[in-house]
Amino acid sequence: MNKPQSVVAAGHALTAEAAAEILADGGNAFDAAIAGVCMSFVAEAVFASPGGGGFLMARAAGQRDARLFDFFVETPLKHRSADEVSFFPIQADFGPATQEFHIGLGSSATPGMAQGLFAMHEAYARLPMTRLVEPAIRAARQGLPLSDFQAYLFTVIAPILKESAEAQAIFAPGGKLLKAGDTFRNEGLAETLAWLAEDGAQLFVDGDIGQAIAAQSRDLGGHLTLDDLKRYEVRLRDPLFWRFGSASVALNPPPSAGGALIAYGLSYLEAHAERGSIIDAHALGTAMIASNQVRKSHGEQLGVRLARGQLMQEIAAAVAATSTAPRAYRGTTHISVIDADGNTAGVSLSNGEGNGFIVGDHGFMLNNMLGEEDVVDGAPGEWREGARMSSMMAPTIILEADGTVMALGTGGSNRIRTAILQVAVNLLAHRMDVDAAVLAPRLHVERCGTVSFEPGFSEEEEAALRSLGQEAKAWPERNLFFGGVHVARWHEGRGGEGAGDPRRQGGAIVV
């Protein structure tokens, strides 16, 4: 019998290739995930940065239980007075619509990325960190052709990438944004990654880069101080476990919101199926409406019952637990890896869109997570001090009764939960292969009542979807609006398979 394969799926071909290189060199899934994360700083610079944060859902081979590493950002310990803070709006241009983001040093929350990488490494990794950063360092120094998707993202957030001379030097040399096919190079980031691998996470706490972060914040109008960086800790959490049929689903627990809302949707749909109805587009839409309602109520309506009569106290309580945390939902990418032994890693990352200013000569921006429009259901710039922020990111691991394990996750702001819900249903209820599950048309229902959907639904399904909301929006083609779900699936006897979502130019590799 041939040795089972390893599999990786990610948001950029080079991110997947970096992880695959490490797998081929004897690394495990966690080594590969770390290498993929570091490459994402280079190849997916709009979404990921050493100045942001994220989550790892980890399952060691042979174990049923998973662990959640929370290294997401935290609000600063103290508000600086408004007249001292650099915090201002820019318009992101999506073509058909624009959206206001806030940037400046005052938009940055305390990053946890460096500490998260080393917490992952200490707990699970096999190879030295100096080896794991090599693919990213090589790409950053030699340069890489800018992909169509990343070039498009550059145009969307052009005001951020051109805000400072240091940012322009990397993303828009000579004042002109790099275009698809142009060589993108970031030698400052290469040096930072090499330095980080040698010195460890302390470099970003009170080492030279931590000192540079604090000094920049002090001098250019930020809230962050060395006390914020020193206080930060990676938090290990028990996942929110939920059953769907015979499968066990490990989800991101509070204070993040995505996992609880996915669990609620799965329960709603399972009850729908128990009543003898198939889980079709209309059922998915009604599940999204129900999830929006329980989210809006923050769990106060504990009388919401499924048809089988069960009180959804556990999920409603989980949703309630996410309601008071400051929210940061944008700018996300994801990496899924399962190695030949069955070790499983799902990592979701975010830097928001970046604050517009490069830290020293280190080749990266801090996040702009405090620039969300709805950080605390108030005006931008208002937030509770010293709090771990809530994210919609939901790296997910699914274990089926026959030993099949899956890792999946996505970017997509508040569409993360609905994208993962739909792909999970495609995999578990409709028994699709991973490519079909990812390619299948998606829908999303906003709290305002707008029902958006991609082409590919039948006429009857489209009619049913239009009846669900106050407004219907039929998209002409698959779109990044509906997320970018990257899936790895593995079975000891059948090997691995993966799918990177074409909506975000994702890729998958079997090693």
Structural contact between residues 262 and 424, judged by C-beta atoms closer than 8 angstroms: yes
Written as six digits, the tokens of 400 are 């089926």
Taking the C-alpha atoms of residue 6 and residue 110, their distance in angstroms, rounded to an integer, is 34
In single-letter form, the type of residue at position 40 comes to S
Question: Residue 139 belongs to what H/E stretch?
Answer: helix 134-142
CA 150 to chain centre: 16
- Written in H, E and C, the secondary structure of 344-355 is EEEEEEECCCCC
508 CB contacts (<8 Å, ≥6 apart)?
A: 7, 8, 9, 10, 16, 434, 486, 487, 488, 497, 498, 499, 500
The DSSP annotation for 191-256 comes to HHHHHHHHH-GGGGTTSHHHHHHHHHHHHHT----HHHHHH---EEE--EEEEETTEEEEEPPTT-
Q: List, in sequence order, every residue forming a beta bridge with 101; answer none if it has no partner.
A: 90
**Strand arrangement, sheet containing 471-474:** 443-445, 450-453, 471-474
Question: Residue 283 belongs to what H/E stretch?
Answer: helix 281-297
Q: Which of 332, 333, 396, 418 is catalytic?
A: 332
SS3 category, 146: coil
SS3 category, 81: coil
Taking the C-alpha atoms of residue 144 and residue 393, their distance in angstroms, rounded to an integer, is 28
Structural contact between residues 353 and 366, judged by C-beta atoms closer than 8 angstroms: no
In single-letter form, the type of residue at position 124 comes to Y
Taking the C-alpha atoms of residue 7 and residue 33, their distance in angstroms, rounded to an integer, is 11
Angle of CA points 382, 370, 265, to nearest 5°: 100
SS3 category, 99: strand
332 classed as catalytic: yes
What are the catalytic residues? 332
